[in-house]
């Protein structure tokens, strides 16, 4: 199974490492080039007990990769998990503009298209969504 985790913060990186440790092929992708460089150098950008060893073990077994390229990272993925924050005021935008990945610098639309081309949903909602937001999400295609 091939999984892509979008976001390499506490949720995304720990989730990706956990999946890799049970044998899943995981690519963790992030727009933060410095963070990806740290991870590629075997360094963890925050403290989580046991995470550094978990990352090293799974990188060595080629089950865990890191990238800044969402398009190539989702290509052929069986599942894409979004572990990024929902921007403030997201509900004021139309559902097709709710980027499942990062929204800065106009990249959201490109990355949404990359996910859609691979057959993945282009809508997401963060924790704490209101009932109205969840109802709008249900209408996304």
Closest CA to 7 of 91, 131, 103: 103
Dig out the tokens for 12 from the structure: 């995304």
pLDDT in the model for residue 106: 38
Cα separation, 75 vs 110, whole angstroms: 14
pLDDT in the model for residue 110: 44
Question: In order of start, what are the domains of the chain with their CATH numbers?
Answer: 2-138 (3.40.50.720)
> Which residues, 6 or more positions from 32, have their beta carbon under 8 angstroms from its beta carbon?
8, 68
Q: What is the pLDDT along the chain (141 residues), one digit of tens a residue?
A: 999 999 999 899 999 999 999 999 999 999 999 999 999 999 999 988 999 999 999 999 999 999 999 989 999 899 988 888 765 554 444 444 444 444 333 344 444 444 555 554 444 444 444 455 444 544 443
Cβ atoms within 10 Å of 103's Cβ, excluding its own: 21
> Is residue 44 within 8 Å of 52, Cβ to Cβ?
yes
pLDDT in the model for residue 99: 44
pTM of the model: 0.65
Residue 95 CA: distances (Å) to CA of 108, 115, 119, 121, 138: 13, 15, 17, 12, 10
């Amino acid at each position: 199974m091939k999984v892509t985790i979008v976001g390499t913060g506490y949720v995304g990186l720990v989730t990706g490492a956990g999946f890799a440790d049970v044998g899943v092929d995981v690519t963790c992708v992030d727009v933060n080039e410095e963070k990806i460089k740290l991870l590629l150098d075997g360094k963890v950008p925050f403290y989580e007990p046991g995470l550094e060893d978990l990352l090293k073990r799974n990188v060595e077994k080629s089950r865990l990769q890191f990238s800044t390229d969402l398009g190539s990272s989702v290509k052929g993925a069986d599942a894409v998990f979004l572990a990024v924050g929902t921007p403030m005021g997201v509900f004021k935008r139309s559902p097709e503009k709710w980027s499942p990945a990062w929204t800065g610098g106009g990249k959201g639309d490109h990355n949404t298209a990359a996910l859609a081309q691979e057959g993945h949903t282009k809508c997401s909602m963060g924790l704490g969504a209101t009932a109205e937001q969840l109802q709008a999400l249900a209408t996304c295609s």
